[in-house]
A and B are shown apart, each in its own frame.
Chain A
Amino acid sequence: MSEIFSKSMARNIYFGGSAFFIFLFLGLTWHTVKVLPETDNSAALTEEVILGKKVWEDNNCIGCHTLLGEGAYFAPELGNVYKRFGNSTEAIKGFIKSRPVNGIPGRRSMPQFNLSEEELNAIAEFLKYSSEIDTSNWPPNIQG
């Protein structure tokens, strides 16, 4: 890069390019948030679902599982677990409740979280809500 391309030109590309794309990103964000209700299933955000998200976070579920593909890759995707478990919140609750305290010899096992009935209902409703978000047809199949 010789004198033809000067330092001030390089600086201008940096300032101009950054400013342009920051504003474009802010504009796109404004629009994305505006049209979010069409896809985000926020109509289903009941008090119970909101409590469920809290239970999800307080027990660090994302530390092993993915949710809509984000998280850890140690345990199954849970964004569609409600559907995988036959559209049943009871099946989800049953699975969480049945985890052995000391694990399964030699195998991966979910810890026993000792959730209350209220928390169990909430986490199951949260996972049902998550499964009904319009994710552009992801995951490719029921296995997640």
Chain B
Amino acid sequence: MINTLKYQSQAVAKPYFIAAIGLFVGQVLFGLIMGLQYVWGDFLFPEIPFNVARMVHTNLLIVWLLFGFMGAAYYLVPEESQRELHSPKLAIALFWVFLAAGVLTIIGYLSVPYATLAQITGNEFLPTMGREFLEQPTITKIGIVIVALGLLYNLAMTILPGRKTVVNVVLMTGLIGLAVFFLFSFYNPDNLVKDKYFWWWVVHLWVEGVWELILGSILAYVLIKTTGIDREVVDKWLYVIIAMSFITGIIGTGHHYFWIGTAEYWQPLGSIFSALEPIPFFMMTLLAFGAVGKRKRDHPNKATVLWALGTGVMSFLGAGVWGFLHTLAPVNYFTHGTQITAAHGHMAFYGAYVMIVITIISYAMPFLRGTGNAANRRAQFTEMWSFWLMTISMVFITLFLTGAGILQVWLQRFDDGQPFMVVQDKIAAFYWLREAAGVVFLIGLIVYIISFFVKSKEPAEA
């Protein structure tokens, strides 16, 4: 019995959050390996070639964010629905299935050549592997679908007989969308153009579509809890935010259809609509600052409020501004597939999805650990240090990659251009700086983990 939890079944969120943080550490370590390989070409070669490190880096990111989303859902849905989770046992069973699938897949990447992994997992029967971010063996993908279906069933059986709020319905819609669009990862036509066209239905319609619903609903929930803002007001904002996400983001998929062999009308369509994609993120920034500025109570968990505000700002900068920088077709013609894309990817994922998961973890963990509605002041102080270390170092990672990208475009893409590897040598200084910023990010992450173990110096309250 955990006294701080309104519904005991919310406790199933805890292992999800712990796994998320653990895999986050793995993701960052492999990011540092890759960053080093950019400047020290044969580092860990041929044991861990770059492509393997990158798979581990990106796949761990996806898996730990999914752990975070699922944990968030299991935590907030019972409270929003005002009843216990339909089946806590199912939630725990799915946790172990997902963790096993994730860990075994990573071990597979690291222990055998990728072609061998494809062979022993029977990729030839239903070839889905070897496409960016969808490198998982087909059997892992099936596992992900099973876990997602189990999650949706469990949540639906909780929400349907319970109280339906805008927050839990929007979250549920986002999670259903996540599961539906993932099914396109099983479609791998021989025609490369068609393959690429529908590959984006997973990748773009996740991060610039349905994931924004998950982000918006978690942010709305945390703001309601920490600032006491009226539900009516938040609901209205949430509807407009997700409306703008879909209105801009769906046709905005077209910014990926400029140069892959699809009809040319995607150039104006993709440019115009994706140029509007910053709007929902800007509205999230306004919502977060508005709610905190007009707060009706001072929640003792200051760290959570900081993370929530940070999500608003950094998602707008990373996804909105850095996305806009290279989204117009005439600009993208020169920047497509350069370090500019990497710069945008890093800040967008951190600002939007990493930060919202940390926000909900920061809010929920004190309740889940039974320590009250907030960690002690010293622990929060440590956590806020980790916020600034990680956020500022991510800003610098993004700036250095942007610098590398601008130079790369200039040297490689204009006039006759210089060969790829010649240019890579010339921009190595930026890669070194990025690696240094990456080390600071890891330090920030370590400080974040330490914050969970910082004890109060004040005498324990009765």
Contact = CB atoms under 8 A, between A and B. Distances in A.
B337 interface: yes
Contact of A33 (B50, B188, B194): B194
Interface string B263-296: 1101101000000000000000000000000000
Contact of A21 (B192, B247, B421): B247
Contact of A71 (B38, B253, B337): B337
Interface string A90-126: 0000000000011111111101110000000000000
Contact of B131 (A24, A57, A77): A57
A71 B130 contact: no
Interface string A1-33: 100011100110110011001101100110111
Given A25-B250, A108-B50, A134 B261 contact: yes
A139 B413 contact: yes
Contact of B264 (A45, A106, A136): A136
Contact of B190 (A22, A53, A135): A53
B422 to A, nearest CB: 9
B337 A66 contact: yes
Interface size band for A: 35 or more
A32 B251 CA distance: 13
A39 interface: yes
B208 interface: no
Nearest to B123: A58
B142 interface: no
A144 B420 contact: yes
Contacts of B435: none
Contact of A63 (B54, B256, B264): B54
A68 B196 contact: yes
Contacts of B4: none
Contacts of B250: 18, 21-22, 24-25
Contact of A109 (B41, B239, B246, B256): B41
Given A14-B243, A59-B114, A141 B416 contact: yes
Interface in B212-268: 232-233, 235-237, 239-240, 242-243, 246-247, 250-251, 253, 256-264, 266-267
B82 interface: no
Contacts of A88: none
A29 B260 CA distance: 14
B161 to A, nearest CB: 22
Contacts of A33: 194, 197
Interface in A25-83: 25, 28-29, 31-33, 35-36, 39-42, 45, 49-50, 53-54, 56-64, 66-77
B263 A10 contact: no
B61 to A, nearest CB: 14
Contact of A42 (B191, B197, B334, B341): B191
Contact of A140 (B131, B193, B414, B418): B414
A14 B216 CA distance: 13
B328 interface: no
B261 A143 contact: no
30 contacts: A10-B240, A14-B240, A17-B247, A21-B246, A21-B247, A29-B197, A40-B192, A53-B190, A57-B118, A58-B130, A60-B55, A61-B130, A63-B132, A63-B135, A64-B50, A69-B337, A72-B50, A73-B341, A73-B342, A74-B34, A104-B41, A104-B42, A106-B40, A107-B41, A108-B41, A108-B424, A134-B261, A136-B258, A140-B413, A141-B413
Interface of B: 34, 37-38, 40-42, 45-46, 49-52, 54-55, 114-115, 118-119, 123-124, 127, 129-132, 135, 188, 190-197, 232-233, 235-237, 239-240, 242-243, 246-247, 250-251, 253, 256-264, 266-267, 269, 333-334, 336-339, 341-342, 412-421, 424
Given A58-B114, A70-B260, A135-B261, 19 more contacts: A7-B232, A7-B236, A10-B239, A14-B242, A18-B247, A21-B247, A57-B123, A58-B115, A63-B54, A64-B51, A68-B192, A69-B337, A105-B42, A106-B40, A108-B421, A109-B45, A111-B49, A129-B192, A138-B333
